[in-house]
A and B are shown apart, each in its own frame.
Chain A
Amino acid sequence: MLKTFHKGGIHPPENKLSAQKPVQDLPVPRSVAILLSQHMGAPAKALVNKGDDVKTGQLIGQGEGFLSGNIHSSVSGRVAKIEEVQDVSGYRRQAVFIDVTGDEWENNIKRDLVLDKEIRYDNAEILKRIAEAGIVGLGGATFPTHVKLTLPRGKKAECLIINGVECEPYLTSDHALMLEKGEEIMVGIQLLKKALQVNMAYIGIENNKPDAIDHMRRLALAYEGIKVCSLEVKYPQGGEKQLIQAIVGREVPSGGLPVDVGVVAFNVGTVFAVYEALQKNKPLIERIVTITGKGLKNPANFRTRIGTPISVLIEAAGGMPDNAGKVISGGPMMGKALSNTEVPVVKGTSGILILPEEESTRPVIQPCIRCAKCVSVCPMGLEPYLLMPLSQQSLFDRLELEHVMDCIECGSCSYSCPANLPLLDFIRLGKSNIGKIIRTRKK
């Protein structure tokens, strides 16, 4: 019996079109736009000006405040301008535009690909270097990793959980990373275990990636305290809380953090970035991005420099299909639909999905028939059919009592609703309004 989480869940078609494709290096583009806010928290402050020459890996943005992150140049060339560019939300935000010449790296970065297993630093130094390298959660949440490693007072971690689940349909970047850089990930796990002073780490991988499971299991034999767990294919297995329940059987309490049950979780991409930062002095300047979609000639996994416009990725995959309807940053269940293709790749871009026109329009909305499908699939045990009208009518007291803040916005409810109600749209609105109310209460 494969382990899994207990409540709810759905089985959308996997469509892993780029699954067997090895990682290709996307050629460095002619120009990049590196956003100064690619993480949760305050945007970084630009350290360069128009006309400055920069090298690959150079620090160009300094994080401001506790919850923030550093930004490094992913290319070498000249800063063309520091101006606004549209990010995934459509709004214009500050970015450093660099015209690329050559590919000259900072001197201290080791460019060899030889595996370096030696752990030279103590836990404080590991944390410091992770912060300097600008590493954030690459699963999509982009929470600054050094902040996650700084546990709140009184909380202790017992084990580490590594998220190799990739439950979203279409996405394969984590899968490709595990196959190619599995051992580097093991070293990264050892580094993180040292940073948190824990002895045990579990890697969760869904059962639809048997090659990755075998590969990682074999590698784990040589390392102490790392175990690979094969999990049932069910969305949203990759959600932090669901993953923790599946692997160690503990439920993160409502309103709490994973560390409340002694667990800290990281995405495999983040772990690999930690390896590169500590063993090769390489800051976070590139990541694997899946470019996929049924109409694309060549769905693939590309190692992409941060700041590359998405249009370059699409060209590399065979060009924009004629019948393209939606371009999504992320997966089809939780990704953000983009309004144009000049949006640059950021640290949190795990994949770009192009949906054809036929699949891009929502079906007609019908009245709610109380079929309870949304209740049966919600992994958090909420009742979306009730949360939607409460949000529409702005009944915030009752909404909060119904625990809408527990919602992980996985989209299982909207997916399953036979009446095609925009459940998640209104639940998100309710959450954001209540979030504002809660913040004013604290003051």
Chain B
Amino acid sequence: MTSTIVYTIISLSILGAVAAIVLYFVAQRFKVYEDPRIDLVEAELPAANCGGCGYAGCRNLAETLVKSETFEGLYCPVGGNEVMARIAGILGREAIEQEARIAVLRCNGTCEHCPRTNIYNGAHSCTIASALYSGETGCHYGCHGFSDCVLVCSFNALHMDPVTGLPVVDDQKCTACGACVKACPRNLFELRKRWKGDKKIYVACMNEDKGGLAKKNCEVACIGCNKCFKVCPHEAIVMKNNLAFIDSDKCKLCRKCPPECPTHAIIEIGFPARKLKIDEQIAESTVNTKKEE
């Protein structure tokens, strides 16, 4: 009995030792040299593998960062300036700073504002609906509401609001990686400059139809009336194809344009409530009572 055990132990030990030696030499022979800095850089990156940088995963970005001479065109939007500064320290290069950005949905065509003209019963996907026809409403530029963007966000920063039928961006979770921008077949998402307190002023409309038609189909459409363009002191507004666009890099959040807009297409978020003049307050309350009737 004991001899069986002894022989077993000896033979298995010899097998193990032989295997270890063979493996050692094979590992040496087929070793791939990798710059050790790649591991260090990768450790700094957020490991989300979201593709926001334009590369195939965090490791791929780390490799590219180590290999390239400058940081030109290389930036991790999820990590942001902090992470890029740390990486610059590791690699001994100049860090490039970029302004923080946030994804914004440029559409306010809720179920209430933009009524349906037909019922879509195809595959539940915005891309498929866009490929099929002009959409469930009279506005052929607005949000379908079939959640392609929600599915593609790797940071859970988007969810569909069942009442409005529009996706909502969670400012705290959004990393401006750009996945939703690519996913939306109507190009409704934009990565705009991010301000402190997540203040935003933007035109929530992409409708290029003439004013009368746009307004007929959606209460809060941009009708291209030019009023905002005329009042902007910073030349931040561009009018093109019956649509206003506020350039977030030029906008100074002076708040002059939102009250000008006759259809309330310009949305301002994160600001204290405006003090309305007395006659404006009366006008507002009459409008509200009329609606209730």
Contacts and interface: CB of A to CB of B under 8 A. Distances in A.
Interface in B115-149: 117-118, 121-123, 125, 127-128, 131-135, 140
A340 B135 CA distance: 12
Q: Which of A336, A340, A425 has the most CB of B within 10 A?
A: A425
Contacts of A426: 123, 128
B123 A90 contact: no
A289 to B, nearest CB: 21
Contacts of B127: 429
Interface in A79-125: 86, 89-92
B134 A90 contact: yes
Contacts of B121: 360-362
Contacts of A90: 133-135, 140
Contacts of B134: 86, 89-92, 339
A422 B123 contact: yes
Looking at chain B, what size class is its interface with the partner chain?
A: 10 to 19
Contacts of B135: 90
B51 to A, nearest CB: 13
Given A90-B135, A432-B131, A425 B122 contact: yes
Contacts of B133: 89-91, 336, 339
A428 B123 CA distance: 12
Interface string B82-126: 000000000000000000000000000000000001100111010
Contacts of B128: 422, 425-426, 429
A342 to B, nearest CB: 11
Contacts of B132: 89, 425
Interface in A328-347: 336, 339-340
A362 B120 CA distance: 11
Interface residues of A, number: 17
A426 B135 CA distance: 17
Nearest to A88: B133
Nearest to B130: A429
Nearest to A92: B140
A428 B131 contact: yes
Contacts of A91: 133-134, 140
Contacts of B131: 428-429, 432
B117 A339 contact: yes
A422 B123 CA distance: 6
A361 B119 CA distance: 10
Nearest to B133: A90
A422 B122 contact: yes
Nearest to B210: A84
Interface string A345-379: 00000000000000011100000000000000000
Contacts of A432: 131
A211 B121 CA distance: 39
A429 B148 CA distance: 14
Interface string B138-164: 001000000000000000000000000
A437 to B, nearest CB: 15
A414 to B, nearest CB: 10
Contacts of A428: 131
A396 B135 CA distance: 26
Contacts of B123: 422, 425-426
A336 B125 CA distance: 18
A360 B209 CA distance: 31
Nearest to A422: B123
Shortest Cβ-Cβ A-B pairs, 9 listed: A90-B134, A422-B123, A339-B118, A90-B133, A425-B123, A91-B134, A425-B128, A89-B133, A429-B131
23 contacts: A86-B134, A89-B133, A89-B134, A90-B133, A90-B134, A91-B133, A91-B140, A92-B134, A92-B140, A339-B117, A339-B118, A339-B133, A339-B134, A361-B121, A362-B121, A362-B122, A422-B122, A425-B123, A425-B128, A426-B123, A426-B128, A428-B131, A429-B131
Interface of B: 117-118, 121-123, 125, 127-128, 131-135, 140, 209
Given A92-B134, A425-B123, 13 more contacts: A86-B134, A89-B134, A90-B134, A91-B133, A92-B140, A92-B209, A336-B133, A339-B133, A422-B128, A425-B125, A425-B132, A428-B131, A429-B127
Interface of A: 86, 89-92, 336, 339-340, 360-362, 422, 425-426, 428-429, 432
